């Protein structure tokens, strides 16, 4: 008994040490990025390496936001990602419902077809998609970019949402049907609340992925009005010069909306799948 | 409600997805496949695309550079996906525990994913830089190394650095999805098993793992496909060097397509990536298949 | 958005024409301008140029008041810029009127029919004002003028005056042999004082920068990319000699340990933190090394031409050129703007605002540049040489990069590496019928 107790204690301490080291390994690079945002170019590349910046001045942040209208770009990114995430979740939930819970034919084919856009390197899609957007007059618009990103991110959302829809026991839906609810009613009122944690997870995933997309906004939205953050971040560099401190400062500010969103949504994921089922 | 009506509704619900597919995907995919059978390059673009049958594919299989990048890409994919699945699982387990400061730890674990790839690529080349990078500095201060490690200019180390940077960025993705799957595992099962005297490890493998398998399979599938198309990170960190040892298949296709202007051959390389990914996907689909027949 | 703008503009044009017609009696000389229909041009410029492009546009709009120029910044990487431009051109989209293109692209873009001929807006005298070597790459096979330099960029040798003085050298090395000898002395001397320093730093990662550096070494010893018959001659004894000099820097341990993974900004970081005696970089790096904000050696930095080999000294032209899109809906106005960009005022703006070197010698003497680094670099600008001009250049460049990488990493020896490189390039040249 004594020994078992000791063992458990050791394994618990081991787990804590492991977790701390592990989390540190993940955070340290980010800390290094944050420190870079406060240094000037001389301190950044000092030899020997200078760990801490000599002052905590916000000069880099101010400069990063005056050289480029970053606030505008962050807003553009938020709009684009928000629109595409909402569209993807709506379209994706519908599709995954029918793929997971109805007896339609050709499910596997549809799933594989959907994957094709995920399977091709995005470069080959650039030219045709540019041509299309140009013909539709959607170049340099946030909505146009959002639509393209819907096409890019929809397949993975459908695949994941499908697995969540599959986990719902048939009994839940059947009891609703017995009460006389129509299919759209059961879908909205019963099934969606049950898979809510899954939907939140996929929302985070989609939002971050659309936010981080680089090559499509680069080519489709080159003008200032429609530029997004990822593209703008690379534009601090000149032909042969990279002001790493400005990029770090801008990147940190630009990741704040994402972090806020993650924090807000992940609480709802933590609340748990089964809680949702009970509430539903 | 009749089954027939339910099926009809199923088709109806698929319409928006099919519209997105037809508008945005069908044409680009078809045109890429068509181009891969053509000689089409910017230098002679005025003559248009000339159909040359399989010649791009024949050239491709004789192309040493294609094989080198294919081998690298496969190695990269296998190593990075295995690492990020294991580490992602560990993170998900940490995130799933109830302890003080859980929210903070979760947010921290997810941070790397929020940094755009281009920026994290720059960040890693700054961290791994041979003579002013912080990693070499810390290692030398701790007296672990005498000479700087050539993190980016030695083939083997470059592989390690690129893998590390990629895993750092994608573990959050894995852990978020695995966490959402872990949440579906009912505590009742676990408690029942624990009363039966099942150890932690046995509970994990016999109860948790089977329950999260569908999500895990889909996550691994998408990560495999995505790693197989790795491009941005490598371009910023090593640009495929040293001596092409970290050049990925997508990077090679991109180089052919845009840098060389050889769009026909670039398209053929893209189709190769496509076919290999399709095989990967089909392989994983077997894993979720039983669920599909419901 | 653009379409909307166009509608607005044409509406405005109708209104202004109506206005002109009504008041045509009291307008005199200015009427010529007043009757011009307002035009908006889109100019795809390079980003982070310290407002140089904006200044050019300001000057241009003051001179041609019916033309508005909207600047669209291209991405920062050269490859990303090419991706952006070629996507737009392939769609035959009119969203570009004027753009800046890298000096290695004209052949490929001309061949694709993406650029408009500008020869009708230039007289022969005007063309003579450019530095002749910068103009070789601007013409198509049909003799048309498809690009003109907006600014040039040349390789320079930046050095530490204090270290050279400390070891009793009167000035920077003039030949590569001298540079190697000086570096050996200084590196050994500093190492004895416990000071770990590199002799030479540059950007030798496998990217375009490595091609530039390698070509300079080979040119310096008299090698040429190809002979009159269009055969690749990078395996000549001269080329081998050049590459051997390059390799010696590595073998003697004179280069920074990480040089093979550095791009320009990394190399500048080494130099600016006092980690190197010499640096081969671009003029912007010299300006940054002299800036105390960036550099801890700011008060002991000098600049010189690159060292010579047995044949002299050559430096790569890294310029950006003005070109007009073949799909522009306002080709006449676009050509006017491109000409202004490559004119005296355009080049002066790039020189004063962003320290870029003009491609016309007379601009260097402008009083606005007196005492500036740009004026200091005039003698070097005159020695610039173009990378091989070919529509397939980027493919040759990649071969040069990987072969030189193998040589520098010691995977192969210089002769074999040079021979393999030449063979690979020759094979492509034959396949493409390129000479």
Residue B170 has pLDDT above 50, yes or no: yes
CB B121 within 8 A of CB B235: yes
Residue A3 pLDDT: 65
More confident residue, A88 or A108: A88
Interchain contact A38–C (C-beta under 8 A): no
User: A47–C48: do the CB atoms touch at under 8 Å?
Assistant: no
Interchain contact A61–B (C-beta under 8 A): no
> Which range, A4-13, A100-109, B194-203, has the best average confidence (pLDDT)?
A100-109
Give the percent of chain A with pLDDT over 90: 43
Determine which helix (DSSP H) or strand (DSSP E) holds B242, and give its type and residue range.
Answer: none
Give this prediction's pTM: 0.89
Q: Give Dmax over CA atoms of chain C in angstroms.
A: 87
Residues of C with CB under 8 A from a CB of B: 79, 82-83, 86, 90, 108-109, 111-113, 198, 205-207, 256-262, 266, 269-270, 273, 275, 391-392, 394-395, 398, 402, 405-406, 409, 411, 432
Domains annotated on chain C, with CATH: 4-153+318-385 (3.40.190.10), 156-316+390-432 (3.40.190.10)
User: A234–C75: do the CB atoms touch at under 8 Å?
Assistant: yes
Give the percent of chain B with pLDDT over 70: 96
pLDDT tier for residue A2 given thresholds of 50, 70 and 90: low
Residue C1 pLDDT: 45
Residue C106 pLDDT: 95
Residue A91 pLDDT: 96
Which of helix, strand or coil describes residue B262? Answer: strand
Q: DSSP code of C386?
A: P
On whether residue B29 sits in a domain, the answer given is no
C170 CB burial (10 A radius; 0-12, 13-18, 19+):
exposed
User: C296–A242: do the CB atoms touch at under 8 Å?
Assistant: no
HSE (CB half, 13 Å, CA atoms) of C422? 22
Domains: count for chain B = 1
Neighboring chains of A (3 or more beta-carbon pairs < 8 A): B, C
Averaged pLDDT for residues B187-209: 78
Which of helix, strand or coil describes residue C294? Answer: coil
Q: In sequence order, which residues have a C-beta less than 8 Å from that of residue B177 and are 6 or more positions away? A: A160, A201, A205, B88, B215, B216, B218, B219
Distance CA C303, CA C377 (A): 8
Distance (Å) from the C-alpha of residue C143 to the closest C-alpha of chain A? 30
Distance CA B18, CA A155 (A): 11
With beta carbons under 8 A apart, name residues in chain C contacting A239. 46, 78, 153, 282, 284, 318, 320
Best C48, C97, C160, C289 member to test A by mutation, with max A CBs in 10 Å, is: C48
Q: Which of A220, A106, A97, A201 is nearest to A152 (CA)?
A: A220
Distance CA C433, CA C422 (A): 16
Residue B288 pLDDT: 60
Residue B163 has pLDDT above 60, yes or no: yes
Residue B71 has pLDDT above 90, yes or no: yes
A41-55, A247-261, C4-18: least confidently modelled range: C4-18
Q: Which of A93, A167, A89 is nearest to B180 (CA)?
A: A167
Interchain contact A242–B (C-beta under 8 A): yes
Distance CA A173, CA C111 (A): 64
Distance (Å) from the C-alpha of residue C327 to the closest C-alpha of chain A? 14
Residue A37 has pLDDT above 90, yes or no: yes
User: B17–A51: do the CB atoms touch at under 8 Å?
Assistant: no
Interchain contact B157–C (C-beta under 8 A): no
Facing residue for C113 by CB, picked from B45, B125, B133: B45
With beta carbons under 8 A apart, name residues in chain B contacting C405. 241-243
Q: In sequence order, which residues have a C-beta less than 8 Å from that of residue C136 and are 6 or more positions away? A: C386, C389
> In chain C, whose CA is at the least distance from the CA of B240?
C206
Q: What is the 3-state secondary structure (H, E, C) of C322-375?
A: EEEECCCCCHHHHHHHHHHHCCHHHHHHHHHHHCCECCEHHHHHCHHHCCCHHH
Residue B245 has pLDDT above 50, yes or no: yes
Best A72, A123, A232, A240 member to test C by mutation, with max C CBs in 10 Å, is: A240
Distance (Å) from the C-alpha of residue B141 to the closest C-alpha of chain C? 15
Q: Which of residues 252-271 of A touch B (CB under 8 A)?
A: 254-255, 258-259, 262-263, 266-267, 269-270
> In chain A, whose CA is at the least distance from the CA of B27?
A128
In sequence order, the β-bridge partners of residue C151 are C320
Distance (Å) from the C-alpha of residue C301 to the closest C-alpha of chain A? 15
User: To 5 degrees, how large is the angle CA A71–CA A73–CA A78?
Assistant: 95
CB B39 within 8 A of CB B264: yes
Distance (Å) from the C-alpha of residue B267 to the closest C-alpha of chain A? 7
B122, B166, B171 from B234: Cα distances, Å: 10, 9, 17
Placement of tokens 């990303």 in the chain: C80
User: C294–A238: do the CB atoms touch at under 8 Å?
Assistant: no
Best A102, A151, A190 member to test B by mutation, with max B CBs in 10 Å, is: A102
User: A262–B107: do the CB atoms touch at under 8 Å?
Assistant: yes
Neighboring chains of B (3 or more beta-carbon pairs < 8 A): A, C
B104 CB burial (10 A radius; 0-12, 13-18, 19+):
exposed
Q: Which of B185, B193, B186, B191 is nearest to B214 (CA)?
A: B185
Which of helix, strand or coil describes residue A46? Answer: coil
User: A258–B114: do the CB atoms touch at under 8 Å?
Assistant: yes
CB C114 within 8 A of CB C325: yes
3-state helix, strand, coil in chain A (%, to 5): 80, 0, 20
Please give the ipTM for the structure prediction: 0.89
Best B4, B20, B232 member to test A by mutation, with max A CBs in 10 Å, is: B20
User: C46–A239: do the CB atoms touch at under 8 Å?
Assistant: yes
Residue C34 pLDDT: 53
With beta carbons under 8 A apart, name residues in chain A contacting C269. 44-45
> In chain A, whose CA is at the least distance from the CA of B105?
A23
With beta carbons under 8 A apart, name residues in chain B contacting A151. 20-21, 23-25
A170-174, A262-266, B54-58: least confidently modelled range: A262-266
On whether residue B259 sits in a domain, the answer given is no
Tokens of B252: 């090679």
Best A45, A46, A63 member to test C by mutation, with max C CBs in 10 Å, is: A45
On whether residue B57 sits in a domain, the answer given is no
Q: In sequence order, which residues have a C-beta less than 8 Å from that of residue C285 and are 6 or more positions away? A: A240, A241, C156, C158, C264, C267, C268, C271, C279
Residue B289 has pLDDT above 80, yes or no: no
A54, A218, C310 from A224: Cα distances, Å: 34, 11, 50
With beta carbons under 8 A apart, name residues in chain B contacting A49. 132-134, 137
On whether residue B230 sits in a domain, the answer given is yes
Domain range for residue B198?
68-249
Residue A279 has pLDDT above 60, yes or no: no
C151 CB burial (10 A radius; 0-12, 13-18, 19+):
buried
Task: State the sign of the Cα–Cα–Cα–Cα dihedral B233, B237, B240, B242.
Answer: negative
Interchain contact A48–B (C-beta under 8 A): yes
CATH number at residue B187: 1.10.3720.10
pLDDT tier for residue A186 given thresholds of 50, 70 and 90: confident
Average pLDDT per block of 10 residues along chain C, 435 residues long? 45 42 39 70 92 95 95 90 92 93 94 94 94 92 94 94 95 95 95 92 94 96 92 95 96 92 91 94 91 90 94 93 96 96 96 92 92 88 89 94 94 95 95 84
On whether residue B46 sits in a domain, the answer given is no
Best C198, C206, C276 member to test B by mutation, with max B CBs in 10 Å, is: C206
> In chain C, whose CA is at the least distance from the CA of A127?
C87
Distance CA B155, CA A89 (A): 42
On whether residue B219 sits in a domain, the answer given is yes
CA A202 from centre of chain: 8
Distance CA A42, CA A64 (A): 17
Distance CA C347, CA C356 (A): 8
On whether residue B291 sits in a domain, the answer given is no
Which of helix, strand or coil describes residue A208? Answer: helix
Residue A270 pLDDT: 60
On whether residue B35 sits in a domain, the answer given is no
> In chain B, whose CA is at the least distance from the CA of C400?
B243
Tokens of C42: 């889109």
First and final C-alpha spacing in chain B: 18
């Amino acid at each position: 008994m004594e020994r078992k107790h000791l063992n458990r204690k050791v394994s618990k301490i081991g787990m804590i040490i492991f977790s701390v080291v592990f989390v540190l390994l993940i955070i340290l690079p980010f800390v290094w990025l944050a420190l870079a945002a406060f240094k000037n170019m001389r301190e950044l590349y000092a030899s020997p390496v200078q760990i801490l910046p000599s002052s905590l001045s916000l000069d880099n942040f101010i400069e990063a936001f005056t050289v480029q209208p970053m606030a505008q770009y962050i807003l553009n990114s938020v709009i684009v990602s928000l629109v595409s995430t909402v569209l993807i979740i709506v379209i994706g939930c519908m599709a995954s419902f029918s793929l997971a819970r109805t007896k339609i034919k050709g499910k596997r084919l549809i799933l594989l077809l959907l994957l094709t856009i995920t399977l091709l390197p995005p470069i080959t899609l650039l030219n045709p998609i540019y041509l299309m957007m140009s013909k539709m007059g959607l170049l340099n618009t946030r909505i146009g970019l959002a639509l393209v990103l819907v096409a890019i991110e929809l397949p993975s959302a459908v695949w994941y949402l499908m697995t969540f829809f599959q986990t719902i026991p048939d009994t839940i839906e059947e009891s609703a049907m017995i009460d006389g609810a129509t299919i759209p009613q059961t879908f909205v009122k019963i099934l969606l609340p049950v898979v809510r944690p899954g939907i939140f997870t996929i929302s985070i995933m989609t939002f971050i992925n659309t936010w981080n997309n680089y090559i499509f906004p680069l080519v489709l939205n080159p003008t200032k009005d429609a530029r997004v953050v990822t593209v703008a971040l690379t534009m601090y560099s000149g032909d042969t010069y990279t002001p790493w401190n400005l990029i770090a400062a801008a990147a940190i500010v630009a990741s704040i909306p994402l972090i806020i969103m993650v924090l807000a949504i992940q609480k709802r994921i933590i609340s748990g799948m089964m809680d949702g089922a009970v509430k539903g | 409600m009749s089954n027939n009506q339910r099926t009809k509704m199923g088709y109806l619900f698929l319409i928006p997805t099919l519209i997105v597919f037809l508008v945005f995907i069908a044409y680009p995919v078809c045109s890429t496949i068509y181009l891969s059978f053509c000689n089409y390059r910017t230098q002679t673009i005025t003559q248009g695309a000339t159909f040359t049958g399989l010649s791009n594919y024949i050239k491709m299989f004789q192309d040493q550079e294609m094989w080198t990048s294919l081998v690298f890409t496969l190695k990269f994919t296998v190593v990075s996906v295995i690492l990020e699945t294991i580490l992602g699982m560990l993170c998900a387990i940490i995130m799933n525990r109830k302890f003080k400061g859980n929210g903070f730890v979760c947010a921290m674990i997810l941070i790397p994913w929020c940094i755009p790839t281009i920026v994290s690529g720059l960040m890693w080349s700054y961290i791994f830089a041979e003579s002013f990078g912080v990693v070499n500095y810390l290692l030398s201060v701790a007296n672990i190394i005498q000479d700087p490690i050539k993190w980016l200019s030695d083939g083997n180390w470059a592989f390690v650095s690129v893998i590390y940077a990629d895993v750092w960025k994608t573990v959050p993705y894995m852990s978020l999805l695995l966490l959402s799957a872990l949440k579906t595992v009912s505590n009742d099962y676990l408690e029942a098993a624990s009363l039966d005297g099942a150890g932690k490890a046995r509970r994990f493998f016999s109860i948790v793992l089977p329950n999260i398998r569908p999500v895990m399979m889909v996550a691994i599938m998408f990560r495999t496909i995505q790693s197989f198309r790795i491009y941005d990170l490598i371009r910023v960190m090593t640009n495929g060097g040293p001596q092409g040892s970290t050049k990925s298949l997508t990077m090679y296709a991109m180089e052919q397509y845009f840098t060389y202007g050889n769009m026909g051959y670039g398209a053929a390389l893209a189709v190769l990536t496509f076919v290999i990914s399709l095989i990967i996907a089909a392989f994983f689909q077997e894993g979720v298949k039983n669920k599909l027949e419901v | 958005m653009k379409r909307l703008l166009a509608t607005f503009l044409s509406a405005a044009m109708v209104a202004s024409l109506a206005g002109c017609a009504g008041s045509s009696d009291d307008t005199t000389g200015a009427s010529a301008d007043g009757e011009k229909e307002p035009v908006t041009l889109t100019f795809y410029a390079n980003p982070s140029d310290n407002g140089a492009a904006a200044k050019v546009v300001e000057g241009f709009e003051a001179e041609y008041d019916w033309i508005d120029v909207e600047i669209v910044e291209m991405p920062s990487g050269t490859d990303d810029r090419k991706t952006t431009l070629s996507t737009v051109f392939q769609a035959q989209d009119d969203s570009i009127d004027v753009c800046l293109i890298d000096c290695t692209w004209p052949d490929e873009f001309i061949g694709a029919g993406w650029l408009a001929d500008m020869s009708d807006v230039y007289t022969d005298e005007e063309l003579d004002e450019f530095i002749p070597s910068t103009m070789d790459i601007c013409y198509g096979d049909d003799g048309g003028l498809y690009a003109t330099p907006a600014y040039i960029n040349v390789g320079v040798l930046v050095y530490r005056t204090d270290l050279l003085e400390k070891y009793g050298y009167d000035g920077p090395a003039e030949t590569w042999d001298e540079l190697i000898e000086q570096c050996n002395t200084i590196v050994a001397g500093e190492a004895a004082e416990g000071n770990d320093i590199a002799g030479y730093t540059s950007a030798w990662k496998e990217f375009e920068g490595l091609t530039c550096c390698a070509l300079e070494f080979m040119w310096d010893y008299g090698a040429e990319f190809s002979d009159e018959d269009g055969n690749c001659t990078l395996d000549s004894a001269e080329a081998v000699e050049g590459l051997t000099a390059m390799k010696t820097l590595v073998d003697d341990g004179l280069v920074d340990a990480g040089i093979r993974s550095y791009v320009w900004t990394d190399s500048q970081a080494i130099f600016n933190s006092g980690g190197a005696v010499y640096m081969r970089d671009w003029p912007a790096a010299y300006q940054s090394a002299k800036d105390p904000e960036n550099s801890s050696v700011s008060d002991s930095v000098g600049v010189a031409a690159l060292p010579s080999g047995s044949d002299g000294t050559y430096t790569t032209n890294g310029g950006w050129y003005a070109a007009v899109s073949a799909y522009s809906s306002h080709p006449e106005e676009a050509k006017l703007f491109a000409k202004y960009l490559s004119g005296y005022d355009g080049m002066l703006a790039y020189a004063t605002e962003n320290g870029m070197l003009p491609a016309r010698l007379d601009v260097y003497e402008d009083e606005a540049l007196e005492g500036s680094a740009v004026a200091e670099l005039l003698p070097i600008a005159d020695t610039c040489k173009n990378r091989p001009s070919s529509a397939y250049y980027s493919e040759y460049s990649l071969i040069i990069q990987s072969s030189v990488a193998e040589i520098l990493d010691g995977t192969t020896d210089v002769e074999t590496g040079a021979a393999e490189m030449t063979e690979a390039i020759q094979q492509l040249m034959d396949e493409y019928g390129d000479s």
